[in-house]
């Protein structure tokens, strides 16, 4: 379910978590949830912050638009409250692997716009198959079922609880690294070092 990996010595970020929500995009809201995502996806953090963590200092160090580099690959968490700004950001980063999170309410407006302007972000360039890397977080799934049905090929199952969304996202990131590793090994010539690194990242995330 993944775009081709960058070579290990490239510096441009290739993996991003993009979060669009009226509340979550604000720095002062949902800080523990954002901190859990950013710290768990950061493989340099050997003690990921759990959703029930109460260490405010640790939260403040991890939340926000933080770019983390590990073995030449960066991971970025970007948050937005404005649909147009978010879609423009996605359009400008169509060469990246995007894991996109939104709420049911704002997703109703955002997802159709994304599919219109930059649908290819969520299509595997090798297999030409869609992958489910759009995550909808909402408390009332039935209210949003009508628009979500139109994009089932691109959406992960909707989530009511933040912990479930977190676990699914981290698993999908790990799966992505496994796919990248296989493609790097199949390349001519194979990039064994980069493939090995991605397998290590995947195993670390699976262990979370």
- DSSP strand pairing (73-80 vs 67-70): antiparallel
Give Dmax (Cα) for the chain.
Answer: 50
Domain covering 15-161, topology: Rossmann fold (3.40.50)
Measured between alpha carbons, how far is 58 from 148 in angstroms, rounded to an integer?
35
The model scores a pTM over 0.85: no
Measured between alpha carbons, how far is 148 from 144 in angstroms, rounded to an integer?
6
In order along the chain (208 residues), what is the average pLDDT of each group of 10 residues?
39 72 69 64 60 53 50 62 89 90 94 96 94 91 94 94 85 91 93 88 81
């Amino acid at each position: 379910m993944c775009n081709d990996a960058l070579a290990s010595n490239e510096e441009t970020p290739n993996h991003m978590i993009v979060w669009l929500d009226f509340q979550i995009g604000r720095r002062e809201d949902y800080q523990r949830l954002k901190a859990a995502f950013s710290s768990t996806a950061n493989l340099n953090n050997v003690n990921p912050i759990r959703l029930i963590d109460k260490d405010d200092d640790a939260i403040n160090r991890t939340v926000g638009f933080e770019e983390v580099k590990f073995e030449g690959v960066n991971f970025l968490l970007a948050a937005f409250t404005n649909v147009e700004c978010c879609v423009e950001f996605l359009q400008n980063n169509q060469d990246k692997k995007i894991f996109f999170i939104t709420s049911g309410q704002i997703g109703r407006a955002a997802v159709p716009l994304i599919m219109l302007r930059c649908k290819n972000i969520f299509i595997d360039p090798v297999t030409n198959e869609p992958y489910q890397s759009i995550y909808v977080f909402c408390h009332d799934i039935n209210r949003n079922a009508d628009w979500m049905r139109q994009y089932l090929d691109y959406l992960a199952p909707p989530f009511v609880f933040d912990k479930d969304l977190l676990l699914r996202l981290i698993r999908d990131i790990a799966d992505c690294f496994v796919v990248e590793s296989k493609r790097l090994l199949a390349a001519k010539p194979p990039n064994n070092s980069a493939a090995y690194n991605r397998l290590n990242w995947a195993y670390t995330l699976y262990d979370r």
